[in-house]
Amino acid sequence: MADVLLVDGHNVVFRSYYGVGELSREDGFPTGAIYGYVNAIWRLQDRICPGRTTVFFDMGRSEKRTAILPEYKANRQPIAEELRVQLPHICRLAVLMGCSVVQRPGVEADDLIAAHAVGEAAMGNRVAIASSDKDFAQLVCDAITLWSPPPPGSYGADWIALDPAAVERKFSVAPEQIVDYLCLVGDASDNVRGVPRIGAKTAARLLQTYGTIDGIMEHLHELPKSIGENMLNSSAEIARNRELIAFDRDGEIVQPQVGDFDLEALISFFEEFDLQSFIPKAIKRYGAKKQKTEPKNVDCPMQSCLPF
């Protein structure tokens, strides 16, 4: 249960696209990501029962992190054209499904989610974050739970809730140690290099023993010579990694884009993309919701939905 569900939009969309496989409407327009996204959101809402759902989308790479490390996320492969053409429609669909949408040029969705999560928790709300991004483990606390998708190949399986104890079981460090942990091991998916010869097990063992990176640096003389030397030689990279990995929890909370719910517009969307199987499910889910008398088209330009 949660008061608010915060969805890492592109993360869910990418997993939906690669999890569903090829699917298209009659004229050949791909719809697999749209189909998977609807199922993912509905499954999450059924499991978590949030009072509100907000979906966050990237609008290009982070200006702050790219300034620190120009090659940040530069290793990402170009978005498949079949997915690219679906993104603007998914942005529009998010609002049609009764969710609010947040995005801001030059600011990563991750930072926006962090600011919103911390803000909601400070107001006494229970927060659920839906993403496969391990970086969000740094936010987990009694009020904030991370929901990770099932492993690849298990489409339709339930999402997995990570509370503080579950984070520690998974990474062998507590949530408040996750930033230090990732500073040491790096993050290949973001093109962030870690400390040479320090993998996940070594990083966890060091943090279990010394608590923090500062604690490790104070006890380099107790470590094997090669590890101590690598830590010392990598001090600048470790500091840089912290700026890349730690979220801006005190960042600006962007006002969500909220559209008045309209069941007829949602049904028209499903008809437009030959997703008729969703129509009876939508009527069952949303039939009691208040509808607008004059439907308003909520648009999301293609360029605003591209993550990088």
Give me the residue spans of the domains in the chain. 4-171+249-305, 175-245
The answer to whether the CB of 129 falls within 8 A of the CB of 6 is yes
Of 43, 24, 26, the C-alpha closest to 34 is: 24
Cβ–Cβ under 8 Å, residues 34 and 274:
no
257-to-14, 104, 260 alpha-carbon distances in Å: 22, 11, 10
What pTM value is reported for the model? 0.90
175-245 is a CATH 1.10.3720.10 domain: no
Report which of 157, 149, 97, 154 is spatially closest to residue 281, judged by C-alpha positions: 97
| Helix or strand holding residue 145 (H, E) | strand 144-148
What single letter denotes the amino acid at residue 20?
V
User: Which CATH homologous superfamily contains domain 4-171+249-305?
Assistant: 5'-nuclease (3.40.50.1010)
C-alpha 296/C-alpha 262 separation (Å) is 8
Helix (H, G, I), strand (E, B) or coil at 245: helix
Query: What is the structure's pLDDT at 76?
Result: 81
pLDDT tens for 224-252 read 999 999 999 999 999 999 999 999 887 77
- Could you state, in chain order, the average pLDDT of each consecutive group of 10 residues for the chain (308 residues)? 94 88 91 94 94 91 88 85 94 91 91 95 96 97 94 71 97 98 94 94 98 97 95 96 91 69 92 97 81 42 48
CA of 168: how far to CAs of 103, 178, 187, 203, 297, in Å? 31, 9, 18, 13, 45
Residue 177 in tokens: 């140690």
Over residues 95-114, the pLDDT tens digits come to: 999 999 999 888 899 999 99
The Cα 253–Cα 47 span in angstroms is 26
Angle at 202 between CA 245 and CA 132, to 5 degrees: 40
d(CA 128, CA 144): 6
**According to the model, what pLDDT value does residue 232 have?**
96
User: Does this chain's domain 4-171+249-305 share its CATH topology with 175-245?
Assistant: no
